[in-house]
Amino acid sequence: MKPLQPDTLIRNPSAPPIVASVVVDCPATRLWSMVGQFAGFNVFIPALTHIEMIGTGVGALRRKFFRDGHCVVEQLNSRDEHAMHMTWTTLYNTLGVARLWAAIQVEAMGTECSRVTWTLVAEPMDAAQAGFEQFLQGFADSALENVRRLLG
């Protein structure tokens, strides 16, 4: 009998990126203090009831709980406080997403103006799932519009 070999279910998705971006009338550091908190997305995503964290820093897991009963578990892959960007991967979800990688980045556009960009690369559980990209685009656009309303 052949010995078991290391394996994993985690792999990066391969799909066209979905990008949402808004310009906010506030300093980049203020914008980053909202969107750069891996444990704080419920502040600008009203569909979330709360987030539970396991661990801190790179490698930490967050469990996002949605008002409609859905749950998502994600791992923080990278985070750079100075450059104001971070990436994460979905490990488990009840939303019909097979694989998802995401990044969020904040750029200063002057002293009182900044841009946040949220990039998602995702594959649906069912390749024939209609409206998957539109769902993700609408979700990200709506979340960032909330950020602009809260900070602008």
Tokens found for residue 103: 């990044």
Asked if residue 134 has pLDDT above 90, the reply is: yes
Per-residue pLDDT tens for 90-102? 999 999 899 999 9
Nearest C-alpha neighbor of 116 from the set 101, 124, 103, 106: 106
- Model pLDDT, residue 8: 85
Q: What topology does CATH give the domain 25-151?
A: Alpha-D-Glucose-1,6-Bisphosphate; Chain A, domain 4 (3.30.530)
Helix (H) or strand (E) segment spanning residue 143: helix 132-151
What integer is the mean pLDDT of 3-12?
88
Q: How large a percentage of the chain has pLDDT more than 70?
A: 99
- Model pLDDT, residue 11: 87
Give 127's pLDDT tier (boundaries 50, 70, 90): confident
As to burial, measured by CB atoms within 10 angstroms (0-12 exposed, 13-18 middle, 19+ buried), residue 28 is buried
Helix, strand or coil, per DSSP, at residue 101:
strand
- Comparison of pLDDT for 88 and 152, the residue scoring more: 88
- Model pLDDT, residue 101: 97
Give me the torsion for CA of 5, 72, 19, 125, rounded to 10°: 60
- Model pLDDT, residue 144: 98
- Model pLDDT, residue 10: 86
What integer is the mean pLDDT of 1-23?
92
Per-residue pLDDT tens for 42-77? 999 999 999 999 999 999 999 999 999 999 999 999
Q: Where are the domains of the chain?
A: 25-151
Q: What is the pTM of this model?
A: 0.93
